[in-house]
Amino acid sequence: MSISLPSTGTFTIGDKSVHRLGFGAMSLTGPGVWGPPRDRGEAVRVLRRAVELGVDFIDTADSYGPYVSEEIIREALRPYPEGLLVATKAGFVRTGPGQWHVVGRPAYLRQEVEMSLRRLGVERLDLLQLHRIDPEVPLEDQLGELRALRDEGKIGSVGLSEVTVEELERARRVVEIVTVQNRYNLTLRTSEDVLRHCEEEGIGFIPYSPIAKGALAAPGSPVEHVAKAVGATPAQVSLAWLLARSPVVMPIPGTSSVAHLEENLGASTVSLTAGQLEELSGS
């Protein structure tokens, strides 16, 4: 196994500079992102192994479990290593497995920030991302509350999730936005305009669901062809493609398995030629 996270480059969020290949902690829960994981011990080992291998950016949310992911992060990693950035999110209420309901009322967002501080055992959330914009609540009220929490020192930086360029720019008129987290990978690039806008503005772009699956990973696909050529797995090639896509891209592959974690982080040593990048991008 070869891993070299420094080769991925870094991105600065607030007062911390982190490697661009991070870890997404949604998988450290039960089916439907609900309840505890089948193997809590393995979930703890995954987090500790990730940090051992140099991961210093972990993404979670209060709604993962709900609360389970944040609690396991605290169990596994507190006291937190210097330089580690744990980002969390608020804005979803969970009523059962696979059920997600947007709630952006200011009082609710403040409550969840307070509870995330308690669950993670920190005095400040380095990065709090609004999980979704609530269409029933004025955007200015939602982001205004996060700005107030930032000004109080309870949040270090503010980010967004699943937004358009227009929504991002509206939000930036209320509070500084340092990251955007949209679904983006080799097979789904509907957020290409958001990525390019983030690149122009120096905003971190966090692609969730970053590993291409399905047809592109099937036998004879471009991903398989490139993977064989460079001696890597399709997952590693998919992550390497993302890292090469833009210097603001910060993939956060998630898993509940140490072996799978190590495979994903192996993407840090995969080097793709211009021709291979073009082949993948045109697929």
Q: Which residues are catalytic?
A: 64
Query: How far apart, in whole angstroms, are the C-alpha atoms of residue 145 and residue 127?
Result: 14
Name the nearest CA neighbour of 198 among 249, 261, 144. Answer: 249
Cβ 153 vs Cβ 128: under 8 Å: no
Cβ 101 vs Cβ 74: under 8 Å: no
Query: How far apart, in whole angstroms, are the C-alpha atoms of residue 264 and residue 85?
Result: 19
Element (DSSP H or E) covering residue 227: helix 222-230
The burial of 224, by beta-carbon neighbours within 10 Å (0-12 exposed, 13-18 middle, 19 or more buried), is given as middle
How many other CB atoms are found less than 10 A from the CB of residue 150?
Answer: 20
